[in-house]
Structures are given as C-alpha cells and as structure tokens.
Amino acid sequence: MEDWEVVPPIGGSCMSPGPGARRRNHKDEDDIIGIFATLLIPGKGGPVKDQAILCSRRTGKIIYLGWPSHIPPVYYNVHLQEISVVMPGMWECHAHFMGASPRRPIDSNNLAMTNPAEAGARNARAIKDTLYAGFTSAIELGGYATELQRVVEEGSILGPTLYGAGGAISMTGGHGDVFEIPYGCVHQALSVNAPGIHAGSVVMLQVDGIDECRKAVRLNLRRGARLIKVFASGGIVSRDDPVQYQQFSDEELKVIVQEAERNGMICAAHAMGKAGILAAIRAGVKVIEHGSYADEEVFSAMKKNDVMLVAAITPLDAILNNEDKYPPEMYRKTADLAKVHKDAYRNAVKAGVKCALGSDLFGGPGTVQAAGINGNEVPLAVEVGGMMPLQAIEAATANGPLTLGPQAPKSGQVKEGYDADLLGLDENPLDGIEVMRNSKSIKYIWKQGKLVKAPGLDPWSVLDR
Ligand SMILES: [Zn+2]
C-alpha cells in the first residue's frame, strides 16, 4: 500500500518544492541522489544556471534535470547537495591500460613482455587515477580494459566504465611489432596462431593476410571488445616510418573493418601519415587516432564518411619535455612531426572535423606518461586545436561516446536517461579551461549515480559502500 503524506518545504536556498508538497515514501528513495548545480555545463549546448539533477543509483541513470521547483512530487524529500559547477563525466577516448613497468623504457619491448599479474596490479592504480582525473568512461585502444571492465563491474577495483578494443592489430614489421627481439619470439608472443595466452598478445596482435586479420577481430570479440583498433601507419614508439607508408594492404584493412562491423563494432585506426589515414578511411575506419599529416583532402574525406579525429597531443609534449627519459629515436621522430601534427589538429577543427579527446597515456606509475594527467587534453584542445572552451568540453564529454559507433551508450551529457556520470567543481572551466588539467580541481565525481570522489572520501571505502 502506498503511503502519502504532506511534508513542509525543505529549507536551504537550493530546494523549495513549495509548501504543502506531497511525497510518497518511496522504497527506493535512498537510491536517489540529488544535486543542485549553481551552474550546469550539460556537455552539449551552453551553460544553464540553477538546475536540479536527480540520479538513480539503482539504474545508474539521470532521472530528472530541470528547475528545482519542477521536481516531481515523488522526489520532494530528496536532499539536493549544492555544487558550484556541474558537468558530465569526461570520456578518455585513447587510453591504454597495459601495466608497463616504470623501471624500463616505454617501448614495445616493455609493453609486450610485462608479466600479466604485475600489469594487472599497476592497472588497478592507473584506472583509479584516470577516474579521479574526471574521466568516468575510457575507451582503450590496446591493453587489458576488456578484462579490467569485468573487475570494475564486480566492484573489486575503482575505475571508469571501460570500453576495450582488446589487442591492437598490427602487421609484421608494423607499429605493433617488437623490433628489438627475434621474430620467433615475437611470433610466439603476438601471433593469432600461437598456442596459449601470452602477455604480449593481450596488448597487441600481429597478423598478416586476410584470414589472420579476421581471426584477430574474432579473438578480440571473444575477450569482450567493444571496438577494434588497427595500426594503419607506423608510429613513434616503433622502429618504422610514421609518415610515408600505409600499413596493411587495402584488402587486409577492409576485412578487419567488415568483420568488426558484422559484430556491431567500429574500427579506430592509428594513422599518422597521409597514406595510412586515407587507406583507413577507404576501408571504412570511423576514428582516426593522431592524424598527424592530415590535410584538406583528408578533412573532406573524413567529413564525407563521418570519421572522427582523436589528435592526442599529450604524448608529443611528454616526449619533447623529457628528452632524457626516452630513446633518442623516439625523441627525434616526435620532434620531426610535432609541429605538423599540431597544425593538422588546428586545421581539422577549423575545417569542421568532429573531434573527441584522448591522451594516449601508457606509462607505468610515476612516469611522465602515467594515467592521471588525462585532463591535459582539454586545455590542449583550446591552446593547440583552437577550440572554444565550451567546444573543448563538448569534445571531452558528449563527443566521446560517438567514437564507439553502434556501441555508444547514452552518456557524456547531463540529460534525462543518460548515464549519471557527473563532475563537481568549484571553478568554472569556461572562465579558465586550465582547471581541467589538474585532477585536484575535480572535487566530486559520481559514476553511475554513485559518489566515488569527494573531499575526505577514501577511495578504498568507496568499494565497500
Ligand atoms: Zn595509443
């Protein structure tokens, strides 16, 4: 039987449903959390003042957004916590949770050979730091996220909602090859036909020819991939050329994209040089990572085919500012392409290419590319990409799920029916976008309606609540 009663208006400046308000003793009322945002940045569209947001912890969704005076009577007794600035939880669209050792150089060797248990322990730290930087969702393009997501979901560790690609797919001699060790060992570690599971094949798969390309997608599908990542050009970490040549033949790229699409997934391609970018777009890839040598021809092909860009500026600056910490070849390559890469980003934004933000962090804890500085990409989108601050926030929030194609959840916006992933700040990022760079500026974080970060809240205790 339902129990109705008259309750007096609730005090405080932020909530006044009005005298004589009626409420129902809702059995789930403890599961509703209420926030009063003095300023709301909704993710898509301009800021709005004085908004009430109600979230269900049971469903993890936003159930009401609007004026406090319009809150449905059934929720009148929900306390509204006043927060200066509320915005959606951000989307990290180019993460790696590889668990690389901080004691060895950040190179393919390190990534492929790290013991999986060691990697898992480091990843527990990395995903928590990513979450605490304000990223309630992370798309991982090669690494352990497919497995980590299950552990996050069961409540054993604290992290963002993870959308993993499984092992990134490389050709032999391509960006994912481990050039420093003999081919036989690489084959044993990364081949789709190698017996047993190896640490290396978790982060990268090395394939050649149509059949192996198809099998790589299926192996990732088996792990629970939500998208597929392929290397369509060389890169900085690997001993190959990032600029001139496409990696994989058109036929191989196409079969990877088709096999992914047949299973409801899109493909994201690492592509720096123009040949690789255009080959990826021709094959049907929907997200270009890096896009260093993209020009007007590339931008029009991207817009025509609805392809998004994740420019990832953070690694360039990390390497250029820390020459002593990287192998000389990596530093030289970065120095060679940094300017053209940054110009391409700015020109892409100007041309109207849709962008999401990703920081491509894959270092172990304590390294200059460790998780936790993911927020860097937001001010960089303004400084380097030439976005307006509101546009940079949209790229960091509402645009994020779009890089998952058909797998995109309703997330990245403060909107009814969307994931109740919210950030609370004291300062308005629209007045100074730099604030997003520092994870300490993100005072409150709700993930799927659950408070996971707040002043004085111990992260371990969150797991017990
Ligand atoms: Zn990457």
> Which class for 74: exposed (0-12), middle (13-18), buried (19 or more C-beta within 10 A)?
middle
For residue 381, CA distances in Å to 343, 345, 372 come to 12, 9, 17
3-state secondary structure of 18: coil
**Distance from residue 370's CA to the centre of ligand 1 (Å):** 13
**Distance from residue 52's CA to the centre of ligand 1 (Å):** 38
**Distance from residue 95's CA to the centre of ligand 1 (Å):** 7
pLDDT of residue 3: 35
Label residue 90 left, alpha or beta by phi (over 0 means left) and psi (-120 to 50 means alpha).
beta
What phi, psi does 30 have (nearest 5°)? -65, -20
pLDDT of residue 13: 40
- Going by C-beta distance under 8 Å and a sequence separation of 6 or more, which residues neighbour residue 332? none
Secondary structure in 3-state letters for 63-116 = EEEECHHHCCHHHCCCCEEEEEEEEECEEEEEECCCCCCCCCCCCHHHHHHCCH
Is the separation of the CB atoms in 403 and 139 below 8 Å? yes
Which parts of the chain have pLDDT scores under 70? Answer: 1-30, 106-107, 112, 195-199
pLDDT of residue 170: 95
pLDDT of residue 27: 52
Dihedral (Cα; 290, 296, 300, 301), 10-degree rounding: -50
pLDDT of residue 381: 98
Single-letter code of the amino acid located at 318: A
Is the separation of the CB atoms in 108 and 238 below 8 Å? yes
**Distance from residue 96's CA to the centre of ligand 1 (Å):** 7
pLDDT by residue (tens digit) across 11-69? 334 444 443 344 444 555 569 999 999 999 999 999 999 999 999 999 999 999 999 99
pLDDT of residue 8: 32
Dihedral (Cα; 263, 265, 271, 275), 10-degree rounding: 50
229 is catalytic: yes
Residue among 107, 129, 177, 360 flagged as catalytic: 360
For residue 11, CA distances in Å to 7, 24, 71 come to 12, 19, 15
Cα 139 from Cα 435, distance rounded (Å) = 23
360 is catalytic: yes
pLDDT of residue 460: 87
pLDDT by residue (tens digit) across 456-465? 999 888 988 7
Residue among 128, 229, 333, 342 flagged as catalytic: 229
pLDDT of residue 195: 65
Cα 301 from Cα 31, distance rounded (Å) = 47
Is the separation of the CB atoms in 89 and 439 below 8 Å? no
- Going by C-beta distance under 8 Å and a sequence separation of 6 or more, which residues neighbour residue 452? 131, 158, 445, 446, 459, 462
> Which class for 28: exposed (0-12), middle (13-18), buried (19 or more C-beta within 10 A)?
exposed
pLDDT of residue 310: 98
DSSP annotation of 384: T
pLDDT of residue 243: 82
> Do β-strands 267-271 and 22-24 pair in parallel, antiparallel, or remain unpaired?
unpaired
- Structural domains present in the chain: 4-89+415-464 (2.30.40.10), 90-407 (3.20.20.140)
What Rg, from alpha-carbon coordinates, does the chain have?
Answer: 23
For residue 68, CA distances in Å to 7, 106, 259, 266, 426 come to 16, 50, 48, 40, 21
pLDDT of residue 17: 45
Question: How many Cα atoms are found within 13 Å in the side-chain-facing hemisphere of 445?
Answer: 26
Q: Is the dihedral of CA 157, 159, 161, 167 positive or negative?
A: negative
User: Both tokens of residue 388?
Assistant: 């307006």
**Distance from residue 24's CA to the centre of ligand 1 (Å):** 51
Nearest to 289 by CA among 107, 135, 93: 93
- What element of type H or E holds 391? helix 389-396
User: Both tokens of residue 157?
Assistant: 């560790």
Give ∠ CA 238-358-267 in degrees, rounded to 5. Answer: 70
**Distance from residue 263's CA to the centre of ligand 1 (Å):** 23
- Going by C-beta distance under 8 Å and a sequence separation of 6 or more, which residues neighbour residue 40? 47, 48, 49, 51, 53, 85, 86, 87, 414
**Distance from residue 321's CA to the centre of ligand 1 (Å):** 19
